[in-house]
Chain A
Amino acid sequence: MTDTSRVSYALVLWGMVLRDLRVLRRNFAPFVTRTVMNPLLFVFVFTYVFPRIGQSFQSGPVGVSYATIVVPGLVAVGMVFTGISAVALPLSIELGGTREIEDRVLAPVPVPLVAIEKLLVGAVQGVIGGLVVFPLVYLVPATPVAVHVASWPLLFAVVTLAGLTAGSLGLALGTIVRPAQIGLMFAVVVVPITFLGCVYYPWALLHPIPWLQTLVLINPLVYMSEGLRAALTPDLPHMHPAVFLGALTLATTILGAIGVRAFVRRTLS
């Protein structure tokens, strides 16, 4: 029997995107607050207060302010954190607690597409999170911040892939972590990812600690930080673009596949 009333999948998914954007608009103030608190206080203490009280530390070449070094990393953290708070948290609750997701699982599209819609909207929210953080980390520091974009296509590619990585990380965590484990997830996943994500120091400078320099390579945030470093502060040491672009593509693929499979497993039995 052929189905004469088939609805375009794109149209259905667009409906879900509109719903997610509506919810984002409604919750924009808490969204921004959650996203900016950590980077704002970080730049305030380390790049505004520290220089003024005569404290400082250096994690890059001489003559480059610490504020410049942390800009790309903090934007990357903003993206990852948004991916987790805007995708993983609500999804974990919708799947494990309220089952609100049922209505979308019952929409006339294959269920994996519902998960992919979440990933894509998460990517968009991740980019918005990065854009919200950028002016803060650029404007707050007391020391000069030297940012210049050498290659706009590279910046575009990095931001796109970093957004997708953030969205797929959010999807994977949201489908795997049960609501009761959310607190634990922050301790076990979010905090280590952030501190060991080459946010506060370029990856190349980890050279004196070879085991750590190798170990952090499993952290997708490393490639987001390094990619943004290459795009925004190209004079600082950074990985080769082929490395971070390839790694971000791989991370999106792996995390996306894990997330989609877990989503299907959680919604169908």
Chain B
Amino acid sequence: MPDSAALVIRGLTKSYPGPPPVDALRGIDLEVRPGEIFALLGPNGAGKTTTVGVSTTRVSPTSGTVRVQGFDVARDPAAVKRRIGVVTQYNTLDRACTVRENLYYHCRYFGFSGAEARRRADELLVQFRLADRAEGMTVTLSGGLAQRVQVARAIAHRPGMLFLDEPTAGLDPQSRLALWELVGALRAEGITVLLTTHYMEEADRLSDRVAIIDHGKVLVTGTPAELKRGIGAETVMEIHVAKAGEELRAVLAGLPSVRDVQVLPTGVRVLAQSREGLLPRLVEAALPFGLRDVAVHEPTLETVFIQLTGRELRD
């Protein structure tokens, strides 16, 4: 039964008439289960933000349906908005108001009484460790703090589902870690989270399940472990040489346990089933091509994306 899901997207398309006309979404199907953290992973322009836009009632679909906790986004946007929290890519904090007022008035926009809104704002200020900034204007906040206020505000009216659109884009590494911790903590509150990201590490670390999306289509969906297993390779070796090209690829592809060899501008990427005894043979084979560097790592979601599209995530 589809409506036991928190979010159901069926055959979603979105075209912008342009000029130039753009097919941002070309048939998205997704189901997000209650309580899970779900990541939409893809490069810029893949359609992640448009998918979130439609799911949060701000973009009207060209065709297809989206239901949030059973409510159709096009037919009953107010009911959907009541149930979702949204953190957009931009800092949309109310600059004319203090941090506390941002939380307080947000609650009022969702029908809280004055007393309820005050209590909720106080609670969130403590929970998100913002109490000492409560009376500061939001323009004075650093990127990481502003993002924390945005998340606090998004969940202030206790939505069942939270949308985070590129929540850590532009944040410094420390703020990124802090935000990951914060999102992880939301799991305890039972909030379903859909986040979009083009950082494969973010999707890997945070999410229960991932959908990889490119050119307005979902390429694959599964847990990060499933997706990585799906490559059929246990290890990835990047070999950088002076003379990269087809010849090296052909030589390496013939070695035992090698599943796939991809040509890179400065070398090749080898996907192998097992690394047992492989490294010396690879090195030996690559030496005549001017071997410069070898890097060995486990498959990542980035590897999955490259396998699916032939491109890097951050092209």
**How far does the alpha carbon of A267 sit from the alpha carbon of B53 in the complex, in Å?**
11
Interface assignment of A246: CB less than 8 Å from any CB of chain B: no
For A235, the chain B residues whose CB sits under 8 A away are none
Question: B111's contact among A12, A19, A101, A104, by CB below 8 Å, is which?
Answer: A12
Interface residues of A in 128-184 (CB under 8 A from B): none
Are B88 and A108 within 8 A (Cβ)?
Answer: no
Are B109 and A100 within 8 A (Cβ)?
Answer: no
Our count of residue pairs bridging A and B at CB distance below 8 angstroms stands at 104
Interface assignment of A207: CB less than 8 Å from any CB of chain B: no
**How far does the alpha carbon of A102 sit from the alpha carbon of B91 in the complex, in Å?**
10
> Which chain A residue lies CB-closest to B76?
A3
**How far does the alpha carbon of A269 sit from the alpha carbon of B59 in the complex, in Å?**
5
**A98-B95, A102-B92 in contact; A107/B58 too (CB < 8 A)?**
no
Are B58 and A267 within 8 A (Cβ)?
Answer: yes
Interface assignment of B77: CB less than 8 Å from any CB of chain A: yes
Proximity string of chain A (254-267) to chain B, C-beta cutoff 8 Å, 1 when within and 0 when not:
00000000000001
> Which chain A residue lies CB-closest to B89?
A99
Q: How large is the interface on B (under 10, 10 to 19, 20 to 34, 35 or more residues)?
A: 35 or more
For B71, the chain A residues whose CB sits under 8 A away are 1, 3
Question: A6's contact among B59, B82, B86, by CB below 8 Å, is which?
Answer: B82
Interface assignment of A53: CB less than 8 Å from any CB of chain B: no
Are B96 and A27 within 8 A (Cβ)?
Answer: yes
For B112, the chain A residues whose CB sits under 8 A away are 15
Are A22 and B79 within 8 A (Cβ)?
Answer: no
Interface assignment of A190: CB less than 8 Å from any CB of chain B: no
For A107, the chain B residues whose CB sits under 8 A away are 81, 109-110
> Which chain A residue lies CB-closest to B71?
A1
Are B111 and A8 within 8 A (Cβ)?
Answer: yes
Binds A, one of B27-35, B40-48, B100-108, B212-220: B100-108
For A15, the chain B residues whose CB sits under 8 A away are 105, 107-112
For A19, the chain B residues whose CB sits under 8 A away are 94, 97, 101, 105, 108
Proximity string of chain A (21-35) to chain B, C-beta cutoff 8 Å, 1 when within and 0 when not:
011001100000000
> Which chain A residue lies CB-closest to B107?
A15
Interface residues of A in 63-114 (CB under 8 A from B): 90, 98-110
Interface assignment of B257: CB less than 8 Å from any CB of chain A: no
Interface assignment of A18: CB less than 8 Å from any CB of chain B: yes
**How far does the alpha carbon of A90 sit from the alpha carbon of B94 in the complex, in Å?**
11
Interface assignment of A196: CB less than 8 Å from any CB of chain B: no
Q: List 7 A-B contacts (CB under 8 A).
A: A19-B94, A27-B96, A90-B96, A100-B92, A103-B109, A108-B111, A110-B77
List 18 extra interface pairs beyond A7-B82, A7-B111, CB under 8 A: A1-B76, A14-B108, A15-B111, A18-B105, A19-B105, A22-B97, A22-B105, A90-B96, A99-B92, A103-B153, A104-B109, A105-B58, A106-B56, A108-B78, A108-B82, A108-B111, A109-B78, A269-B59
